[in-house]
Chain A
């Protein structure tokens, strides 16, 4: 609650100063709770707009990939999911894997947008957590009980970006580490083979 009031007051101050909220992509001085909240606010606004657009599934998945690339630290997420195998790999292999991972995530999660039609996500709170920030939101989908979606935001790359989504306790990064690990096993440890499989997956 206090954080709520605080952020509203701050937002007003910023608006009064005629300064737009730091746009994504600009280097952030030091990320704070209000900026984390504002970032997720814009992200959720973009997602809600896609949900409401009524576009075809293919078009929505393209939109989702664009949103993911803009608001998420794709490089961090992809490399963290890959784990130790990425350390000894060739740079070009890791870059190709990261690009394939971005498309895979967009297809895998974008397909689920069907369930979101008629629904909306609302940001309710933000607070510091460990060395980053957690922005709390509620998803209200048609015909379902509202559920809790948390966005973990950091500025390790120099930009404010999210690196993890926690839906009712289920951690996207942790489940993708498991899944990418299983795919890498199937690819017998070859990152180019994993990349080829990712292009078809999701």
Chain B
């Protein structure tokens, strides 16, 4: 399977903020929003390339891209299918994180959606009240106490951190579907994840395009949004602005 590409849409799954997960996009660092970006010059170069790829494939809101727009139900099907294929890897990571409850629930989801959900194209498990719970080895590393490391922008995959990039590599090796499936099937799984990523990009077009193409500095927007959302997902400290300690707001 492809935790690799699945990360792509995973960061996007919420639809509202997540854009940053897709393609990465220096401005001033807001006070208190700490992060480490020593490779900024290099990261900006990768970001620019990613944005050009995005523009070619999906368009920028002005011009259309070369990928045709999937009808909504088809897009949902792609997303559900790839998410279901990622479930075994999610279970392995929840076990490594010593979190049995989500491990059991995701196993149950996988069984329900693979059978009743016709191979994972539909998501009846959510309708039954078993919500999606996605994770990855980056989160496992965080649970084990590893720090976030520096911010990096990966080619195609977009915003990441050193910890998350290590996680992506380990997920490839950890994923049962990746290791157990014979080669043609694992290639199909990669294709499914790519289709899912494209579908997520289209479903969240307004948001992604506002960050990449309408921001004064898309790179800085993608960085702050990715890092804040990722820290929230991992239950790490959420950056809070105290207006009574803000020297500028009046």
Complex interface bits, A107-129 against B, C-beta within 8 A gives 1, otherwise 0? 01001101100000000000001
Q: Which residues from B are CB-within-8-Å of A76?
A: 243, 249-250
- Chain A residues numbered 144-163 whose CB sits less than 8 Å from any CB in chain B: 144-145, 147, 152, 154, 156-157, 163
Min C-beta distance of A20 to chain B, whole Å: 27
Is A5 interfacial (CB-CB < 8 Å)? Answer: no
> Contact at B224–A129, with CB atoms within 8 Å?
no
> Contact at B16–A168, with CB atoms within 8 Å?
yes
Number of interface residues of B (CB under 8 A): 46
Min C-beta distance of B114 to chain A, whole Å: 20
Is B98 interfacial (CB-CB < 8 Å)? Answer: no
> Contact at A129–B240, with CB atoms within 8 Å?
yes
| Complex Cα spacing A30 to B132, Å | 41
Min C-beta distance of B43 to chain A, whole Å: 15
Complex interface bits, B230-247 against A, C-beta within 8 A gives 1, otherwise 0? 111100001111111011
Complex interface bits, A73-102 against B, C-beta within 8 A gives 1, otherwise 0? 001110110111011000000000000000
Min C-beta distance of B6 to chain A, whole Å: 16
Min C-beta distance of A131 to chain B, whole Å: 5
- Chain B residues numbered 187-224 whose CB sits less than 8 Å from any CB in chain A: 206-207, 210, 214-217, 220-221, 224
> Contact at B233–A185, with CB atoms within 8 Å?
no
> Contact at A132–B242, with CB atoms within 8 Å?
yes
- Chain B residues numbered 66-116 whose CB sits less than 8 Å from any CB in chain A: 72, 76
| Complex Cα spacing A79 to B241, Å | 14
> Contact at B210–A145, with CB atoms within 8 Å?
no
Q: Which residues from A are CB-within-8-Å of B33?
A: 171, 174
Known interface pairs A168-B232, A169-B238. Does A177 touch B30 (Cβ–Cβ under 8 Å)?
yes
> Contact at B228–A174, with CB atoms within 8 Å?
yes
Min C-beta distance of B76 to chain A, whole Å: 7
Is B127 interfacial (CB-CB < 8 Å)? Answer: no
Is B62 interfacial (CB-CB < 8 Å)? Answer: no
> Contact at B243–A108, with CB atoms within 8 Å?
no
4 nearest CB pairs, A to B: A169-B232, A80-B249, A182-B217, A182-B216
Please name 6 pairs of A and B residues whose Cβ atoms are closer than 8 Å in the assembled complex, sorted by A.
A83-B28, A83-B248, A145-B13, A166-B238, A175-B221, A175-B228
Q: Which B residues fall within an 8 A CB radius of A? A: 13-18, 27-31, 33, 72, 76, 126, 131-132, 206-207, 210, 214-217, 220-221, 224-225, 228-233, 238-244, 246-250
